[in-house]
Structure 1
Amino acid sequence: MRRDGSDDGGLGRCQLLDLLLARIGSDDVPASQAATGNGGGIVIRAAVPEDAASIAAIYAPHVLVGTVSFETEAPDARQMRGRMAASDGLYPWLVATIGTEGGVLAYACASAFHKREAYRFACETTVYVADAAQRQGAGRLLYEALIDTLRAQGFTQAIGAIALPNDSSIKLHEAVGFRRAGCTGRSGTRTGNGSMSGTGSARWPNLRLRRSSRSGLRMLV
């Protein structure tokens, strides 16, 4: 579904995301290759409900250890499936896999930046990579596909939130075009995760997806 409410002929959520991914690559490479990287080894596709368990498993360590996530309880597969369904075809969920039949290496998704209507063309983005798949290029391929999908949907701005310190996430965001937009100091406090207890700051990198020609819409930078 596009941000303006159109739906490309009533396609299902995953069908539409796959179509968008194919369109994104159509100007440069055949659609069959548009969602692959590393010689076809890593495939980017729309997430399906059956991916929820793998997505939850990738995310859980970031909740249980350290301060990368400001959540305090790791969602299980059922809860993750609910989050995916709540996107209602508007906010994309993508996964990176090894080949077309391989396991999930990483996932990326978008969500509403703010519930107020004036923020409707902005979204918040996130990406998580499995520990075993770090430094293989999956995160960047996935994030680039997410950003291109959001552009195709008509979003004008993508905003990330990074709990500090997290140099690797900062480098990934900068590599795909994000720029620092602000930082909130000591904005989150987590306790109860074993020996970990502390207060974290969050950096908000920003990426302008396109200029909007809509009357009355102002870019928030």
Structure 2
Amino acid sequence: MSFTLRDATLSDIPAITAIYRESVLNGVASYEMTPPGEAEMASRFSAITGNRYPYIAAISADGVLLGYAYASAFRTRTAYRFLVEDSIYLAPEARGQGVGKALLAELIRRCTALGFRQMVAVIGGAHPASVAVHRAAGFEHGGLMKGTGFKHGRWLDTILMQLPLGEGLTTDPQAGTYPDTLYRS
């Protein structure tokens, strides 16, 4: 499958909303039960990109959005500012085609360049394909939380995976640079 990666834009929100809607209704990656509309997805997009987190779109050769990925705060307390959580969502026809792997690799590259030191994947439903993509990118198992969600008539587990970025925890971050300035008053 031929595709390119680029920054997602507000004009992608209808396609992003459709992909996420399918995931909410049919999948277990998101524990949301009711898919948000375009206005809510645009608000989420603006909140993420407004804090300079990367938000990436995978576009097919014929211009169709195949999937998207973004990094966001794992938690908003100041000490967490060097840790990001990744999120990846794919259209059904893009699954198993290398799109998720490419999106994750680019997200890792961009977050490393921004100065983040750790990336965590919170994998709802312990989805095997998501675990495999993260493992292939170098993520290590960080924990299993059993029965964290109930969706589609069954209990779902959540797997945590983690990847050091850049110098990881081997050095102190440089004060006053992004992401050190996140969540400071």
What TM-score, normalized by structure 2, do the two folds share?
0.86
For the residues of structure 2 that align with 1:150 and 1:215, how far apart are their CA atoms? 14
8 A Cα contact 2:126 2:159, kept in partner: no
The one of 122, 126, 130 equivalent to 1:161 is: 122
Aligned pair 1:104/2:65, yes or no? yes
1:203 aligns with 2:159: yes
The 3-state SS of whatever aligns with 2:145 is: strand
Deviations 1:129-172 (A, max 9, x none): 11011222111111100110000000000001112341111111
Q: Cα deviations across residues 71-100 of structure 1 (Å, max 9, x unaligned)?
A: 11111221111111002142111000013x
Task: From the superposition, tell whether residues 91 and 215 of structure 1 become closer, same or farther in structure 2 (CA, over 3 Å).
Answer: closer
In the TM superposition, what are the counterparts of 1:182-201 in structure 2 within 5 Å?
Answer: 182-190=143-151, 196-201=152-157
Residue of structure 1 in register with 2:183 after alignment:
none
Match of 1:214 in 2: 172
Percent same amino acid among aligned pairs? 33
Q: Is residue 43 of structure 1 aligned with residue 1 of structure 2?
A: no
Alignment partner, residue 53 of structure 2 = 91
Q: Any gaps of 5 or more consecutive residues in structure 1?
A: 1-37, 191-195
Question: CA offset at residue 208 of structure 1?
Answer: 0.5
Structure 2 unmatched ranges of 5 or more: 176-185
Which protein shows a greater Rg? 1
Tell me the secondary structure at the aligned position of residue 97 of structure 2: coil
> 1:73 — aligned with what?
34
Shift of 1:65: 2.0
Query: Which residue identity lines up with residue 204 of structure 1 in the other structure?
Result: L
Compute the displacement of 1:68 (Å). 2.4
The residue type paired with residue 214 of structure 1 is D
After TM superposition, give the deviation of residue 198 of structure 1 in Å: 2.3
What is the match of residue 63 of structure 1?
24
- The Cα shift of 1:179 comes to 0.9
Q: Which amino acid aligns with 1:200?
A: L
How many equivalent pairs are there?
Answer: 172
In structure 1, the residue corresponding to 2:105 is in which secondary structure?
Answer: helix
- Once the two structures are superposed, residues 22-59 of structure 1 have per-residue CA deviations (whole angstroms, 9 ceiling, x without a partner) of xxxxxxxxxxxxxxxx7xx3111000000011011111
For 1:188 and 1:140, locate their aligned partners in 2 and report how far apart those are by CA, in whole Å: 26
1:161 partner SS: strand
**TM-score scaled by structure 1?**
0.73
* Aligned alpha-carbon RMSD (Å): 1.9
SS in 2 for 1:152: helix
2:100 is aligned with 1:139: yes
Q: Distance in 2 between matches of 1:146 and 1:117?
A: 22
Q: 2 CA distance for matches of 1:203 and 1:137?
A: 21
